[in-house]
Structure 1
Amino acid sequence: MTTHKPLSAGWPLAFLEQMRAQLGSDFTEFESALVQPTPVSIRMNPRKMAGVATHQYGSAYNINDLAQVPWCPETSPVRAFYLPERPSFTLDPLFQAGAYYVQEASSMLLYEALRQTVNLNRPMRVLDLCAAPGGKSTLLASVLHPDSLLICNEVIRSRVSVLRENLDKWGYPNVVVSHHDPEDMNNLTGFFDVVVVDAPCSGEGLFRKDPDAMQEWSEDSVQLCSARQKRILAAAAPLLDKGGVLIYSTCTYNDTENNENVRYLVNSGFRNRPLILPAEWNVVEKQAGDLETGDAVGYQCYPHRVRGEGFFISVFQKTGFTAPVKLDARTFRTIRALRTREAASAAKWLQNPADFSLWEKPNGDVMALPKALEKTFLFLDSALKSKGFGLEMGQFKGTDFIPSHALALSTAINQNLPGLALSKEDALRYFKKENLVFDEPVKGWLLAQYEGLNLGWVKGVGTRVNNYLPKDWRIRMDIKEYI
């Protein structure tokens, strides 16, 4: 009989002792779960579902055969599924098109937390404070009212580019990507209805998925993480309007980073908002007895109880008042409105141009701002120093308009623009940034498409089709065995 190597042979002893104390008789099941394969889950983009229903995910199964993530069911705007194995997502053209996001299932509980505590049918201002790589940001974009503002902030500069790429793939025009320390956003006091803090943590819940995280763990690192989390929460609290909702989450198990920060928030002008989760989900309610409440103050996913990784989430409502910042779109800004002739030319690339105003950055980039959010975007142009917002459309070169890759992937693009349907082989060659050759000549700008979804731009020159995929998006894997 084959037995697995005891975790205690290679795992931090202090971590194992912590989990034995926390789980009691459940520890043996927890230990066994950590040597099982990591579940693979995907979440669909509700605006890019066309053509995806029978898509093959690297094997002989399609979306209709897959088990659903319980808290993202068929009836929700964020349908999510488990895959029986992990395919090469990089080499799936629909992944590159933003048809779905590969997200750990436990962390999708964010949707249920939102559904139970905020009105998703009205426009709101929402901040994802620690956003990269973009899993929770794309989930937020999917469920918020289309006239909501979503700011996705990342502190670490090297992670901003992957956040921007994932949000470009998702294709929603009401999104801002910013790069600020939380303390630097103090000119947005009282501005938000919802703030999501998926805090940097010790990563205990990801040890199965990322063994390297285990090597960095120590009791001291847990204390350092908890202190950093409190600093982030202290900066986040003033950004909420009175009655606003703060959602705090980590991918860890220990009380120092979870329950202690719950206590910190309750003692800082917030009350906890308990959730009602079905018992069959097997999510554990966490208590903090010294808060003198019989309600759960947080919810913990364990890998031996749910089909997912370790994850903690808690929800709070702000009870105190912070004087809100006043919007003034007349303050200094860096963009200018397009001239009438330019605007008319650029508007042709949009499905509903009347819903947008068109602007130009100092570098010549043309951007489309949803009119419902125009005043807010113009205010943010001066309120945030390091940001990108609106739909990046492209640039004028003389009288010609050069469309951007973000426009190709946007859900706001004109659906009647000419396209070029590609086979999977040609789609992969496109993502290798190879020029494509066809029997029949094509001319002008065309949308490279796969199974009805846009991949990016090509431009026909006779029988040759030039490839306008941005070089930073080029895949470097060998595709020979996949075509």
Structure 2
Amino acid sequence: MNFKLINSSLPSDFETTMQAQLGADFILFEKALGTEPPVSIRLNPEKRAFDASALMKVPWHPEGYFLPARPVFTLDPVFHAGGYYVQEASSMILHEVLSQLIPAPRPLRILDLCAAPGGKSTLLASWMPPGSLLLANEVIRSRVSPLQENLERWGNPHTFTSSYDPEGFAKLNGFFDLVLVDAPCSGEGLFRKDPDAIREWSPEHVQLCAARQRRILAAAVKLVAPGGTLLYSTCTYNEVENDQNAAWLVEQQNLEYLEVKLPAEWGVVSRDSGYQCYPHRLRGEGFYFAAFRQTRGLPFRGKTGRYMSKLSDLKKREEAALADWVQNAEALFFLQRPDGTVLFGPNELWNDLMLLDTALPQGVWLREAGQFKGKDFIPAHSLAMSTSVAADWPAVELDRETGLRFLKKENIELPADTAKGWLLARHEGLNQGWMKNLGNRVNNYLPKDWRIRMDIREV
């Protein structure tokens, strides 16, 4: 059947493929691509900032909401504090999938293998059971900093980052209970939001992506512990990158395909292998996912060496000083670089982090607590963002305008009776960063790379 095409900017080969895939639904699909994409956010359950009860819910995520219009997120202090993440609604369905497939609340070792910019990593961080470890990995170095920043904003101290090619994890075969491969793809599901995705699309690019995905998946399969779960997702529609790769995982990699039960009213389509979100069937973009269980594989056999040999333990005096800066200091470990920078993490993850450090050439990146300079301690921004920071540390609540000037790293004035010394800048009860009140001036310790460059008068 031939359809009258509405959006002539779509690649003709893509239109042909989608007509064959959708049949009579193609015209509805094409119309949907010509509409304004919905705007959705996912709240951080550890950083409550506002009442979202008046907003439309995302059906498949307890913290997901649609916004009536797209605000300027850059000029929202709550966003910078990690109060929410701006995430496409369809991809939030992974929360429901994981809740069905891994219901037992035991600590997990989790790897997000292609993690930048961090949307699914922050979703995993909020979903994972207490005591779990999440390693968010990104091979492209230019994308690592945004990933780290987003995870720091989210504040969960059980999350860590790394930058390795998937094959660089070979010494960790069988280590992870859950591996997410949100694979680089041809981006067909982004056509409505990103015109560049349309210009870059071609049948040859689809084939190139599918081959790259199989290379990543082949490495990922080995990392899953026996009985563990592999979750594969893309933001595309074609069978080559989706169904065929899912079938390859079953037929060639000996994984067991896992079904999930989703309400029909959600509009998610079950495919031959996996599940597909279409913009004409639900309020979201194109997203594909499929889940598998490792039925064979080998258990992890690695051993530990000396943890991070370039780091040293803190002196007792320094450890005692840090206890005032964090909550439950006895639940954390602290290590120090040669330059005095202090890193921290949960004690309950010490053994797992030692294993990771032994297996990976450069280890993983830990959170910075700050730096000792003589007897003085200079707190790091990541500590201000972390849920591990002392809840009773002196803080100053900033209104929106002052909060934005703080986030522009501008000088701000505080009331004359404000306590001197290190203070947390807060907005709506959420930490924005550190400042030091010297009495005659206030030093703003927001990292330069984090500052807002937009004119705050644009709102």
TM range (shorter): over 0.9
Alpha carbons of 1:432 and 1:324: their partners in 2 closer, same or farther (altered >3 Å)? same
Superposition map of 1:177-192 within 5 A: 177-192=161-176
What do the CA deviations read for 1:118-138 (whole angstroms, capped 9, x no partner)?
Answer: 135110100000000000000
In the alignment, the residues of structure 2 paired with residue 304 and residue 166 of structure 1 have an alpha-carbon distance, to the nearest angstrom, of 30
Alignment equivalent of 1:281, drawn from 242, 266, 275: 266
What corresponds to 1:245 in structure 2? 229
In the alignment, the residues of structure 2 paired with residue 333 and residue 187 of structure 1 have an alpha-carbon distance, to the nearest angstrom, of 19
- Deviation (angstroms), 1:113: 1.3
SS of equivalent to 1:64: coil
Moved more, 98-107 or 119-128: 119-128
What corresponds to 1:226 in structure 2? 210
Superposition map of 1:243-322 within 5 A: 243-267=227-251, 268-287=253-272, 297-322=273-298
Alignment equivalent of 1:71, drawn from 52, 55, 60: 60
What do the CA deviations read for 1:201-221 (whole angstroms, capped 9, x no partner)?
Answer: 000000000011100000000
Match status 1:460 vs 2:437: yes
Structure 1: which amino acid aligns with 2:271?
Answer: K
Moved more, 451-460 or 383-392: 383-392
What corresponds to 1:86 in structure 2? 70
- Alpha-carbon contact 2:226-2:299 (below 8 Å) kept: no
Match status 1:39 vs 2:38: yes
Structure 2: which amino acid aligns with 1:130?
Answer: C
In the alignment, the residues of structure 2 paired with residue 125 and residue 326 of structure 1 have an alpha-carbon distance, to the nearest angstrom, of 14
SS of equivalent to 2:230: strand
SS of equivalent to 2:424: strand
In the alignment, the residues of structure 2 paired with residue 134 and residue 445 of structure 1 have an alpha-carbon distance, to the nearest angstrom, of 30
- Deviation (angstroms), 1:390: 3.5
- Deviation (angstroms), 1:387: 5.0
Alignment equivalent of 1:411, drawn from 372, 387, 395: 387
In the alignment, the residues of structure 2 paired with residue 391 and residue 329 of structure 1 have an alpha-carbon distance, to the nearest angstrom, of 21
- Alpha-carbon contact 1:333-1:381 (below 8 Å) kept: no
Alpha carbons of 1:131 and 1:420: their partners in 2 closer, same or farther (altered >3 Å)? same
- Deviation (angstroms), 1:401: 0.4
What do the CA deviations read for 1:341-366 (whole angstroms, capped 9, x no partner)?
Answer: 11111121111111111111233211
What do the CA deviations read for 1:306-331 (whole angstroms, capped 9, x no partner)?
Answer: 10000000000011122413242546
Structure 2: which amino acid aligns with 1:25?
Answer: A
- Deviation (angstroms), 1:117: 0.8
What corresponds to 2:422 in structure 1? 445
What corresponds to 2:448 in structure 1? 471
- Deviation (angstroms), 1:9: 2.2
- Alpha-carbon contact 2:398-2:427 (below 8 Å) kept: yes
TM score, norm. by length of structure 1:
0.92
Quote the sequence identity (%): 54
What corresponds to 1:216 in structure 2? 200
In the alignment, the residues of structure 1 paired with residue 53 and residue 7 of structure 2 have an alpha-carbon distance, to the nearest angstrom, of 41
Match status 1:52 vs 2:28: no
What corresponds to 1:376 in structure 2? 352
Structure 2: which amino acid aligns with 1:21?
Answer: A
- Deviation (angstroms), 1:368: 1.6
Superposition map of 1:62-211 within 5 A: 63-73=52-62, 79-119=63-103, 121-211=105-195
What corresponds to 1:428 in structure 2? 404
- Deviation (angstroms), 1:7: 4.2
- Deviation (angstroms), 1:388: 4.2
In the alignment, the residues of structure 2 paired with residue 276 and residue 17 of structure 1 have an alpha-carbon distance, to the nearest angstrom, of 31
In the alignment, the residues of structure 1 paired with residue 316 and residue 307 of structure 2 have an alpha-carbon distance, to the nearest angstrom, of 23
In the alignment, the residues of structure 2 paired with residue 454 and residue 332 of structure 1 have an alpha-carbon distance, to the nearest angstrom, of 30
In the alignment, the residues of structure 2 paired with residue 359 and residue 438 of structure 1 have an alpha-carbon distance, to the nearest angstrom, of 34
SS of equivalent to 2:30: helix
Match status 1:391 vs 2:367: yes
SS of equivalent to 1:241: strand
SS of equivalent to 2:209: helix
- Deviation (angstroms), 1:465: 1.2
SS of equivalent to 2:53: helix
- Alpha-carbon contact 2:308-2:363 (below 8 Å) kept: no
In the alignment, the residues of structure 2 paired with residue 454 and residue 372 of structure 1 have an alpha-carbon distance, to the nearest angstrom, of 26
SS of equivalent to 1:101: strand
SS of equivalent to 1:155: coil
Structure 1: which amino acid aligns with 2:269?
Answer: V
Which runs of 5 or more residues in structure 2 are unaligned?
A: none
Alpha carbons of 1:197 and 1:347: their partners in 2 closer, same or farther (altered >3 Å)? same
In the alignment, the residues of structure 1 paired with residue 297 and residue 314 of structure 2 have an alpha-carbon distance, to the nearest angstrom, of 40
Alpha carbons of 1:337 and 1:119: their partners in 2 closer, same or farther (altered >3 Å)? farther
Structure 1: which amino acid aligns with 2:256?
Answer: R
SS of equivalent to 2:261: coil
In the alignment, the residues of structure 1 paired with residue 421 and residue 261 of structure 2 have an alpha-carbon distance, to the nearest angstrom, of 55
In the alignment, the residues of structure 1 paired with residue 368 and residue 108 of structure 2 have an alpha-carbon distance, to the nearest angstrom, of 22
What corresponds to 1:17 in structure 2? 16
SS of equivalent to 2:189: helix
Structure 1: which amino acid aligns with 2:432?
Answer: L
In the alignment, the residues of structure 1 paired with residue 427 and residue 442 of structure 2 have an alpha-carbon distance, to the nearest angstrom, of 16
Alpha carbons of 1:344 and 1:331: their partners in 2 closer, same or farther (altered >3 Å)? closer
TM score, norm. by length of structure 2:
0.96
What is the number of residues matched between the two proteins? 454
In the alignment, the residues of structure 1 paired with residue 391 and residue 440 of structure 2 have an alpha-carbon distance, to the nearest angstrom, of 25
SS of equivalent to 1:272: strand
Alpha carbons of 1:334 and 1:385: their partners in 2 closer, same or farther (altered >3 Å)? same
- Alpha-carbon contact 2:395-2:426 (below 8 Å) kept: yes
Superposition map of 1:313-352 within 5 A: 313-330=289-306, 333-352=309-328
What do the CA deviations read for 1:18-77 (whole angstroms, capped 9, x no partner)?
Answer: 01110001011101100110100000111001x422xxxxxxxxx22101000013xxxx
- Alpha-carbon contact 1:194-1:240 (below 8 Å) kept: yes
